[in-house]
Amino acid sequence: MKTKQIALTGIFAALYYVLGVVFQPISFGAIQVRVACATIPLIAIVGMPATIGITIGHLMFNIGSPLGTLDMLSPFVFLIPRLLIQKYGVKMMPIHTLSVGVWVAYILSTFGLPFFPIFLTVTIGETVAEWLLGYILLYTVVEKNEVLRGA
C-alpha cells in the first residue's frame, strides 16, 4: 500500500469508530440506525482503503457491543458484501444492507427475540444510514473532493 492508501485506511477506521461512539445510543439493538454505516457507499469510489478502514473501525467499535462476542464477528461477516461494493459499485449495497439485517436479527434471536420483526427494523435503520445518509455523503465527496477519488 502507498502512503496515501495507508493514511486513508486510518482515516476510515477512525471515522467509523468515532461516528459509532458519538451515535452509540442508536447504533445497537432491535431498532437502530448505525450512522457510521453512512461511510459504506464510499467504498465504491475509494476502494480498498475504505474497505479495510471501515472493517477495522467496525471491529474497534464492536468491542464495546452490548450484544457480546458474537457481534465481534460482524465486521468479518460483512467483509464479502463490502468487497462486492468495492468491485461492482453501489449497486451491490442491497446485499450489504440485507446482510446486516439478517445478521443482527440472528444475533438478537439468540437472546430470544423474534427474528423477522428485528430483521425488518434493523434493515430499515440500515437503509436510512447507508442509502439516505450514505448517498448524501457519497454525493458530497464526489462533487466536492478530489482527494478521495481514485485512492
pLDDT of residue 141: 85
Q: What is the pLDDT at residue 104?
A: 96
> Does the predicted model carry a pTM greater than 0.85?
yes
C-alpha cell at 73: 464477528
Q: What is the pLDDT of residue 144?
A: 73
Per-residue pLDDT, 76: 96
Q: Which letter does DSSP use for residue 112 in this model?
A: T
Query: What span, in angstroms and rounded, lies between the C-alpha atoms of 94 and 99?
Result: 8
CATH class of 3-144: mainly alpha
Nearest alpha-carbon partner for 123 in 106, 104, 110: 104
Sorted by where each begins, the domain ranges of the chain are 3-144
Cell numbers for 89:
459499485
Q: What is the pLDDT along the chain (151 residues), one digit of tens a residue?
A: 799 999 999 999 999 999 999 999 999 999 999 999 999 999 999 999 999 999 999 999 999 999 889 999 999 999 999 999 999 999 999 999 999 999 999 999 999 999 999 999 999 999 999 999 999 999 988 877 765 555 5
